[in-house]
């Protein structure tokens, strides 16, 4: 990963890598995202939290256009997201995503899961793609599972494969949509460890998660959402110590209670 870490500061002088300006979205009549303004700098780690149904997943899924916004602008890695398929695919190449349900391809082996996109999208020769894949499997600490099928792995292992799959595309940004919510408690740590390492290497990360311990460790900025709005944003020490809004305080008291 040292290459990527070195390459990062050299690249484009852009101060921000994700920019959401006055973004709105509706599901039918339901206003899911209300006037979202968010700027994420290169290498910055943003943790998004909030009650369920608050629109956090929808927001990060707008960043790689898994959801379409209806108003406002979203600019990712210097490219504006419009309905232009070329732009969408260009952005998706640079943005990795990890899902709550892993979404590995069950008909392919772990190695094939990892090499698929590099071979078909990045046009990487098969041998190089496999080399990269083995490197990232090593990084997520399951090199011995390369030839198994996803169904033969535990949840924690599957999620680590999913992270490795995204990393194989050498993305500039990683989105995490509740990556540990579907895991048994004893497997959460192995996934978070991988994510912490990734954060320490300078990856730009936007994570929707309720793991507040993780948030404290890695976040540069906490974003709290409720009912489709960004209610509060602050560095983690301020966010946890003295939240400004009543809603944030209530939410934190609920999830930190036990």
Partner 1 sequence: MADIDIAEEIPLPAQQRPPVVTSGVIGWLRANLFNSVFNTILTILAVYLLVMTVPPLIRWAFIDAVWDAPNGQACRGEGACWAFIGEKWRFIFFGRFPYDAQWRPLFVVVIIIGLVLASCDRRLWGRRLMLLWPAGLVVVGILMSGGVFGLRYVPSEYWSGLPLTLILAVVGMLFAFPFAILLALGRRSNLPAVRVVSVAYIELVRGVPLITVLFMASVMLPLFLPEGVTIDKLLRAQVAFILFAAAYLAEVVRGGLQAIPKGQIEAADALGLGYWRRTRLIVLPQALAMVIPPLVNNFIGAFKNTSLVLIIGLFDLLNTANTALTDSNWQGFASETYVFVAAIYFCFCFFMSRYSQRLERTLNRGHRR
Q: By CB under 8 A, which span of 45-53, 149-157, 205-213, 238-246 interacts with partner 1?
A: 149-157
Integer Cα distance of 258 and 248 in angstroms: 17
DSSP annotation string for 165-234 = HHHTT--SEEEEESTTTTS-HHHHHHHHHHHHHHHHTT-EEEEE---HHHHHHH-SEEEEEETTEEEEEE
Q: Total number of residues binding partner 1 (CB under 8 A)?
A: 29
Tell me how far apart the terminal alpha carbons of the chain are, to the nearest angstrom. Answer: 37
Which residue of 8, 66, 79, 252 would you call a contact of partner 1, by CB under 8 A? 66
Residue count of the chain, please give it.
258
Among positions 186-205, residues that touch partner 1 (CB under 8 A) are none
Binds partner 1 by CB under 8 A, chosen from 96, 156, 179, 202: 96
For position 151 contacting partner 1 by CB under 8 A, the verdict is yes
When binding is defined by CB under 8 A, the residue of 106, 246, 257, 258 that contacts partner 1 is 106
CA distance 63 to 242: 29
**The binder of partner 1 chosen from 149, 210, 216, 227 (CB under 8 A):** 149
Q: How far is the CB of 60 from partner 1 (least distance, A)?
A: 11
Rank residues 110 and 192 by Cβ distance to partner 1 and give the closer one: 110
How far apart, in whole angstroms, are the C-alpha atoms of residue 128 and residue 106? 23
Q: Does 169 bind partner 1 (CB under 8 A)?
A: yes
DSSP code of residue 245: S
CA distance 128 to 114: 12
Residue 89 within binding range of partner 1, rule CB under 8 A: yes
Q: Which residues bind partner 1 (CB under 8 A)?
A: 64-66, 85, 89, 92-93, 95-97, 99, 101, 103-107, 116-117, 120-121, 148-149, 151-152, 162, 165-166, 169
């Amino acid at each position: 990963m040292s290459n990527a870490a070195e390459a990062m500061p050299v690249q484009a002088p852009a101060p921000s890598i994700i920019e959401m300006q006055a973004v709105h979205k509706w599901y039918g009549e339901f206003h899911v995202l209300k006037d979202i303004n968010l700027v994420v700098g290169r290498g910055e780690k943003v943790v998004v939290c909030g009650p369920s149904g608050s629109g956090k997943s929808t927001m990060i899924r707008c960043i790689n256009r898994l959801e379409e916004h209806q108003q406002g602008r979203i600019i990712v890695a210097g490219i504006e997201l419009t309905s232009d398929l070329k732009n969408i695919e260009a952005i998706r190449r640079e943005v990795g995503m990890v899902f709550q349900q892993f979404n590995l391809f069950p008909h392919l082996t772990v190695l094939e899961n990892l090499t698929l996109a590099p071979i078909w999208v990045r046009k990487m020769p098969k041998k190089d793609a496999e080399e990269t894949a083995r490197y990232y499997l090593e990084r997520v600490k399951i090199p011995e599972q390369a030839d198994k099928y996803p169904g033969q792995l535990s949840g924690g292992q599957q999620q680590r494969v999913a992270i490795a799959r995204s990393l194989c595309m050498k993305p500039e940004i990683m989105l995490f949509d509740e990556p540990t919510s579907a895991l048994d408690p004893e497997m959460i740590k192995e996934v978070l460890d991988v994510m912490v390492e990734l954060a320490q290497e300078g990856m730009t990360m936007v994570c929707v998660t309720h793991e507040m311990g993780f948030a404290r460790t890695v976040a540069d900025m906490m974003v709290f959402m409720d009912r489709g709005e960004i209610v509060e944003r602050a560095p983690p020490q301020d966010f946890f110590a003295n939240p400004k809004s009543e809603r944030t305080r209530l939410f934190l008291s609920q999830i930190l209670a036990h």
